[in-house]
Chain A
Amino acid sequence: MPFISNLLNYKSISFVGMDKNAGKTEALNFVIKRLNDYKKKISVTSIGIDGETLDQVTETSKPRVFLYPESLFITSEQLYPKKEIVSMVEDISHYGTSLGRLITSRAKTFGNVMLSGPTDSKRLKELIDNMVQCSDMCLIDGALSRKSFASPSITDAMILSTGAVVSASIDKVVQKTLFMYEMTKLPEYDGELKEQLLNITKGVYAITKESEVIDLKIPSMLMLQKYKDVIFSQSKTLFIPGMITDKLLELIATQKDKSQVVLITKDFTHVFSNELNTYNFLRSGGKILCLYKTNLLAITVNPVAPQGYKLDSDTLVGKLREKIPLPIYNIRDVAPDGIFH
C-alpha cells in the first residue's frame, strides 16, 4: 500500500473515524503491522477511552490494538490489566484520567492491548512530545467525539476512516466523507492570539480588532437562543473552543452582515454543524478557521456496517476517489491476510 511510505515522513499520526465502527482501529492495526515490516519502533495511545472489547454504543465487538515487541503503549490503570501481552511498566503519570493514571508500558511479546489516554489537548501534546522522543513514530487512536477536549489534529498527520456505518446509501457516504475532507481543509488561524486561545477549553469569546479576547459569558452553544443579543455584541470574530453547531450557523444566517463573520475553533472535529448549514455559511462569505491545521494523508473505507448490511466496496472506493484527491483504500482488500489477531 503506497501511503505507508508517505507515513514515514511524519513523527505523529492520528486515526480518526467518521463514526463508531468506521474501521479506525483496523486502520491503526494495519499501519502498526506495516510499520513493523519497516522495522520502525512505534508508540501508541488513544484519546479518551478507545479500544474497549465491546463498543459501548452499538455493543458490537471491536478489535483491540495489536502490538509487536518493543512497542511502547500508553493506557490507563484500569485498562492495563486487560492486555494479552507480556509487557513492562516504564512510567506512571502523576495525574489521573477517568480510568485512572496513565501507564507507559513496553511490549515484550506480540499481542493485544486496550488503549486509553489523556482527554485534554495540553496533556496529549505533552505526551506526544515524550512519545516522539522515545520512538520513531507515535500513533494516536483518536476520536471524533463531543466528549473529548483533545484534538487529534495535534499530530503531524491524520488518517480518516469512513464506511457503511455512516449511511446505507453509497452516495450519502461519499457526500458526508467529502464534507469531512473539506472540513480538514479549513484554513489555519495564525494570529497573535493563537497560544492564548489554545489554553481555553470552554465558553464563547469575542475577538476584537484590537486583539482583545472577551468572554461573552455564554455557558454553552446549546443555550444560544437565550444569548442571541450578546453573541455579536463585541465583534464579528468569535472563538468557539467547544463546538460550532447548526443553531449558531442558523442564527448567523439571519444576520445582516453575515459575510463578515469569522469563527475560530480548535480543529475540524469541532465543527458539528451539518453540510447544508456549513456550506451556506461558507458560501455567504463567512469563514471558519482552525487553531490546529489538519494534514489528512489517506482515507480508509469499511463497507460493512455493524447493523448488518454491506455496500459494494469497489463502487464506494471508486466514487470517493473521484471526489477526493487522496489515497483511499478498503484495508480488507489491500491486506486480506492476518491483520485481525
Chain B
Amino acid sequence: MNFKQAINENAQLKAIYEHLIIKTAMGRDYLFNLEFSTDKDFLEKQYKLTQKCQKFIQSIKDNDKMLLECVLYDIHNIVGSINLLERKENLDDIGLFEIKAFCLSCGQLNSMLQNLNCKEFVLDSFDDIVTLLDPEGTRTRQFYIYNAYNSDISRLRTEFEKLKQADSPLTAKIYNEILDIENNVREKICTQLRPETARLKKAVAQIALLDVSIAKAELNIEMNLIKPELNADFIEYTKMFNPIIKESLNKKGKNFQSIDIKCTKQTMLITGANMAGKTVVLKTLALNQLLAQFGFFVASEKANICLTEGVLQSIGDNQDENQGLSSFASEIITLNNIIKQVKTGKRYLVLADELARTTNPIEGVKLLNGFISTVNLGNSISVVTTHYSNITAPCLHFRVKGFINNNLKPPISITNLSDNIDYSLIEDTTNTTPTEALNLCRLLAIDEDWLNRCE
C-alpha cells in the first residue's frame, strides 16, 4: 500500500496530508509513492532526517525560511523531460527552458542551503548545463535558440524580419529554414544533455526528499509530533492524542485529553459509556501506526511501538445497500477478512469498534468471544471496543473512566458534556459494562414520556 492509497482509505491520514505543505511536484510524487514500510532501518533513517530538518528549520530565521520556500515553489518538475531524453527523443524549447530553470534553481537552492549551514543536502552543481543552455551568459531564466548557437541563424532571422515587413511571399520559406536550423541546434543540445540525465535524476530525488522532510518537520512543530521508538513487540503510548480532533477542539477553546495506552498480543477490550471516546482511541491508534510506518512522527508524548504488516480496521458503518448487504453482513465480511489475514501468523494491528453491535446481544457476545479467541491465536495486536458484558475470552479488560461529576443537571449541551468526562483508560476486573446510557439520555434532556416509559 502506498501513501496515496492510504490517504484515500483513511480520512484522518488525509487530514494530516492536508496539513502537510509540499512545495514541489516531485516532492508530492515521492510522497504519494512512499510504501507502508516494515523496514526498521529505512524508517529510522527517515526519522533521523526529519529530526535534522526540524533542527535546521528551527535554527533559521523566518525570512530565510520564506526565501527557501519561494525557491522550492519555483522548481519545475523535469521528470517528463528527463524521460524524453532517455527515450532518445528531443526536447522543445519548453523542455529545454525547464531543464535550464531547474539547473538555475538547483544552484540557487544549494548556495542558500550551504549559507544556512545545512549539511544534509548538498546538491550537484549544474553550471555546465546552465552554460550549455545560456550561450549568451545572461544567467536569466529564459530560453530560446539563441543567435549565438549558430552563425546562420542570426543572418536568417534578420532576413526573415525584413521580408516580413515587406510582406514578401518568401517569408514562409525563410521561416522554415529557421525552424530546420533550430531543430538541428536542439538535437545537438539534447545529445549533450543525454549523458547528464542520471545526475539530473539524482537532483530531482534529493529535492523531493528535502521538500518532504521539511514539510514533515514543519508538521511536527505544528502538531507536536514525536519520534516513535521501534524497539518493542507491543504498542505503547504515553499521553497519546489525536492531532486532528485536538486541533478542532483547540479552535473552540477546549482541550483534548490525552491518554496512556499499552496494547499487546493479548487482545485489549475497551468498554465505556457512550460518548466516552472509545472510537477515538481506535482511530488514533490506526492513525499513529500509519504515520509511523510511512516515516512520519506520531501524536503522543512518548511512543514505543512495533512494526506491523498493516492496520486492519472495522470502524464505522460499512452498510452497502447497493451490494445487498446489511450493516451486520458487511461488518461480518470485514471481520472475516481480518481473521483471514491474522491467521497468516503475521503481525497486524487489528482495530474493531463495537464488534457485532447490530445484532442481538446474546449472539453478539458469542461472536465477540469467538473473534477475540481466534485473534489471540495469531501474532497480531488487537483492540476491540464493546458495550456487551460477560466476555469470557481471555483479554485485557479496560474501561474508560467516564463521568467525573455525578451531580450534573439536565439539560446539558453535548459540548459541555465532554468537559465532564474523564477519557483515561483504567483496568477493569468486573467483567461488566457501564450502564450509563439512560443517565446520558437524561442529561441530554430527551423526551420525558419516552424516558419515563424506559424505567
**Residue from A86, A94, A111 within 8 A of B144 (CB atoms):** A86
- The answer to whether B164 and A89 touch across the interface, beta carbons within 8 angstroms, is no
The answer for the CA separation of A255 and B229 in the assembled complex, in Å, is 70
The answer for the CA separation of A86 and B155 in the assembled complex, in Å, is 13
- The answer to whether B160 and A109 touch across the interface, beta carbons within 8 angstroms, is yes
A232 contacts the other chain (CB 8 A): no
Q: Which residue of chain B has its CB nearest to the CB of A81?
A: B92
B196 contacts the other chain (CB 8 A): no
- The answer to whether A89 and B93 touch across the interface, beta carbons within 8 angstroms, is yes
- The answer to whether B141 and A110 touch across the interface, beta carbons within 8 angstroms, is no
* CB 8 Å contact bits of B244-263 with A (1 = contact, 0 = none): 00000000000000000000
**How many Cβ-Cβ contacts under 8 Å join chain A to chain B?**
48
A90 contacts the other chain (CB 8 A): yes
A341 contacts the other chain (CB 8 A): yes
* CB 8 Å contact bits of B140-167 with A (1 = contact, 0 = none): 0111100000000000010011001101
A80 contacts the other chain (CB 8 A): yes
Q: How many residues of B contact A (CB 8 A)?
A: 22
A92 contacts the other chain (CB 8 A): yes
Chain A nearest CB, measured from B443 CB (Å)? 32
Label chain B's interface by main secondary structure. Answer: helix
* B 116-175 contacts with A by CB, 8 A: 141-144, 157, 160-161, 164-165, 167, 175
Q: Which residue of chain B has its CB nearest to the CB of A111?
A: B164
A106 contacts the other chain (CB 8 A): yes
B98 contacts the other chain (CB 8 A): yes
Q: How many residues of A contact B (CB 8 A)?
A: 21
Give every chain A residue within 8 A of B143 (Cβ-Cβ). 88-89
Give every chain A residue within 8 A of B198 (Cβ-Cβ). none
Chain B nearest CB, measured from A322 CB (Å)? 38
B56 contacts the other chain (CB 8 A): no
- The answer to whether A108 and B157 touch across the interface, beta carbons within 8 angstroms, is yes
* A 287-341 contacts with B by CB, 8 A: 338, 341
The answer for the CA separation of A45 and B200 in the assembled complex, in Å, is 33
Give every chain A residue within 8 A of B142 (Cβ-Cβ). 88-91, 106
Chain A nearest CB, measured from B82 CB (Å)? 16
The answer for the CA separation of A90 and B140 in the assembled complex, in Å, is 9
* Given A90-B142, A109-B164, 13 additional A-B pairs, CB 8 A: A77-B94, A88-B142, A89-B97, A89-B143, A91-B141, A92-B94, A92-B101, A94-B76, A108-B157, A109-B157, A109-B160, A110-B161, A341-B167
For this complex, 11 residue pairs linking A to B, each with C-beta atoms less than 8 Å apart, are A84-B175, A86-B160, A89-B93, A89-B142, A91-B142, A92-B76, A94-B73, A94-B76, A106-B142, A110-B161, A338-B167
